[in-house]
Chain A
Amino acid sequence: MRIAVTGLGAVSGIGFGVSENIESLRTGRHGMGKPRFFQTTLDVPVSEVKATNTELAKRLNLNAERTYSRTALLGLMAAREAVADAGIDVSKKRVGFISSTSVGGMDLSEVFYNDFRTDHNRGRLRLVSQHDCGASTEFIANQLGISGFVTTISTACSSAGNAIMLGARMLQHNMLDAVVAGGTDALCKFTLNGFGSLMILDKEHCRPFDATRAGLNLGEGAGYIVLQRSEDAAHAPYCLLTGYANANDAYHQTGCSPEGNGAFGSMSAAMAVAGLQPSEIDYINVHGTATPNNDLSEATAIRRIFGDRVPPFSSVKAFIGHTLGASEGIEAVYSALSVKNGYVYPNLNFKSADEAIGLAPETEFAEGRRVRNVLSNAFGFGGNDTSLVFSRAD
């Protein structure tokens, strides 16, 4: 069975919609800046979607008087674009929606908590009723009119990769005919302070794979892809999803092993599912958060697989930040277009190679390259490592 990618949708700090995102990647316009849309005293760059919740609601033709979690708004924007792009009839029973998020409606819960903490009878309930991860998923599914299988995955930063993988497997098992899969996450105090407490936020603009890299920048957004069996596609697909795998590093709750065992496991297994040799991978969209630990561990795993023939690779994290539960949703969209149009994305802010890594990423935007297969990585807390393989449909 061939699984086709037939629809794409994305919103991030570098654009509303897929074409704005690609245009920013092409012209080197990143999304980093001081936090403007949520209250924090932390002075670190973040990649915010450049709109207030009210503006987002208006763009989505929602009643702007009502309360929505930002996670739900961002998710609806990207998922709606993906569904329209694929031209699928979502009213059919065997259309599924598989979403992921790492914090759900936390942006509202932390506002609720300010009143609630001193008196448990205080705090507006509408600010906390959307706290759970399933709330944004159900909201998006209802807005889209999807009434088939709906669920939410939450495995920290690899969440959306796992959502896409589940979608592909449900098509393989003939449990669904079409599935919208990806993830959404809004920035909030909770996650920014969480990564701050781990001391892995760079106060400067992050520099993936660079010798001077000193941590990550967070971002927000959403990305979804539509998957169908290729014979059911309404139009020529962007590409095929040929490989997927999740493996566990089982080394540390937040850090990654020096040998990159989990990353090695997920990349090798995803390529095995796709039936590909390392020489057939033409581009790797690396996880590349820009923490000293992640990039070294990921590079080590890549070397173990590709030896001295490492394909072109880059991290888009300096453009959009680490968007956590949304990251592989957005990056799957970029990867699909890499296969379709031969795009290779620039790894911003890379200047000097790290001797321990010994690899240099791509630094210029390219198009029309021969890209047969793209390997895309997403790694998360709990040693949770996911890799996807996107391949040419012809």
Chain B
Amino acid sequence: MKPVYITRTCQIANDQLVMDGVEAVLDYKEIIADPALRRRMSRIVKMGVACGLKCIEGLTPESIDAIITATGFGCLADTEKFIESIVANSERLLNPTPFIQSTFNTIGGQIALLRGIHSYNVTYAHRGLSFESALIDAAMQVNEGKKNVLLGAIDEITASSADIQRRLGMTREYELGEGANFFVLNATASGNKSAAVLDIDTRSGRLTDDKLIEWIVETANRNGIEISDLCIVANCNTATTDNIKKRLSLKNKPLQFKTCDYPTLSARALDFAINNSTANKTLIISDYQHINHSLILLGRG
């Protein structure tokens, strides 16, 4: 596959909007003008839709050839709200809004609806590899000749999911996080920070640090890159990062990224890498709950 270029980045996390690495004003009223619609939207939907809309600001609907979204858990608050209403109202006279919004493709669908975008629109929901799947699809779309492919990832924390994940032992290493990240992908570079996605690879199941390091070396070799030239963005725990530092001779100190955890955190790591790594070649190493792993190799545009 030919390299694809990320020409825009947009993030909403911790109630902050960051566009192409620069903080901007987050005003939901301005982005989603219809007050009734805005009120109906749950937090994840509002966050995702607003982030996606900001990312394609100024682009015409006809110029956007695909909308591809990813979410590990989907719209949890809406899902719980609807289940609760089923139980509380004994399956009678239910408000359909939370059911409608609980659908995994709500955010991609709403962006299409609000901007009148009739192109390809697909949503991935596959744990810690949801975003990677979407990125692979987006890269294929660009290689198929599509322009301005909007790619995004969204996950939210709810009180219930936090309690469940704590009970499942999923918060032992990191607290839960949430956020929305969107990107525009094209076949050519534009803008001063545009990065090229050169390679994406994924693995599932436990992975020892030895195996991970082997995999990093393989990936660098396959792409004809000297390991020492890589800047590593570590979306994995610090013990693994330390091991990588010890075992590989790197000119650049790895950038520890992971400080919280959620299934599509690798999308935020990608935004971080594009806007913070100054190296020519950057490798993002992601580990979600030690069950899903990915390597994303970036070059400068």
Interface residues of A (CB under 8 A from B): 40-42, 102, 104, 109-110, 113-114, 116-117, 120-121, 125, 128-129, 131-135, 137-138, 147, 149-156, 162, 166, 169-170, 173, 175, 189-190, 193-194, 196-198, 245-254, 261-262, 265, 380-384
Contacts and interface: CB of A to CB of B under 8 A. Distances in A.
A197 B120 CA distance: 28
A312 B106 CA distance: 34
B127 A132 contact: yes
Interface residues of B, number: 59
Interface string B160-171: 100110011000
Contacts of A121: 163, 167
Contacts of A265: 118
Given A190-B83, A198-B96, A253-B109, A381 B103 contact: yes
B122 A155 contact: yes
A118 B40 CA distance: 26
B126 A151 contact: yes
A194 B72 CA distance: 21
A382 B108 contact: yes
Interface in B99-145: 99-100, 102-106, 108-110, 112-113, 115-127, 129-130, 133, 136-137, 140, 143-144
B223 interface: no
B65 to A, nearest CB: 11
Contacts of A156: 103-105
B136 to A, nearest CB: 8
Contacts of A109: 83
Interface of B: 1, 67, 72-74, 79-80, 82-84, 86-87, 90-92, 94-96, 99-100, 102-106, 108-110, 112-113, 115-127, 129-130, 133, 136-137, 140, 143-144, 159-160, 163-164, 167-168, 202, 204
B38 to A, nearest CB: 14
Contacts of A125: 164, 167-168
Given A120-B163, A125-B167, A262 B113 contact: no
B126 to A, nearest CB: 4
Contacts of A104: 125
Contact of A189 (B91, B96, B116, B136): B91
Contact of A162 (B80, B84, B110, B122): B122
A32 B136 CA distance: 40
B292 to A, nearest CB: 9
A117 to B, nearest CB: 6
28 contacts: A120-B159, A121-B167, A125-B167, A128-B168, A132-B125, A134-B129, A147-B204, A149-B202, A152-B124, A152-B133, A153-B124, A154-B125, A155-B104, A155-B105, A155-B122, A156-B105, A175-B136, A190-B82, A193-B82, A193-B86, A194-B102, A248-B109, A248-B117, A248-B119, A248-B121, A249-B118, A250-B112, A382-B110
A41 B73 CA distance: 28
B83 A110 contact: yes
A246 B125 CA distance: 18
- Main SS of chain A's interface residues? mixed
A154 B130 CA distance: 11
A156 B92 CA distance: 23
Contacts of A114: 87
B204 A138 contact: yes
Nearest to A113: B83
B82 A246 contact: no
B94 A193 contact: yes
Contacts of B140: 169-170, 173, 175
Given A116-B160, A193-B94, A247 B120 contact: yes
A246 B167 contact: no
Contacts of B160: 116, 120
Given A131-B73, A382-B113, 19 more contacts: A110-B83, A128-B168, A132-B125, A134-B125, A134-B130, A151-B126, A152-B125, A153-B124, A154-B123, A156-B105, A166-B122, A189-B86, A189-B91, A193-B86, A193-B99, A194-B99, A250-B116, A265-B118, A384-B122
Contacts of B167: 121, 125
A133 B99 CA distance: 16
Interface centre among B110, B120, B130 (most CB of A within 10 A): B120
B93 to A, nearest CB: 8
Contacts of B125: 104, 132-134, 152-154
Contact of A137 (B126, B159, B202): B126
B133 A151 contact: yes
A384 B117 CA distance: 11
Contacts of A149: 202
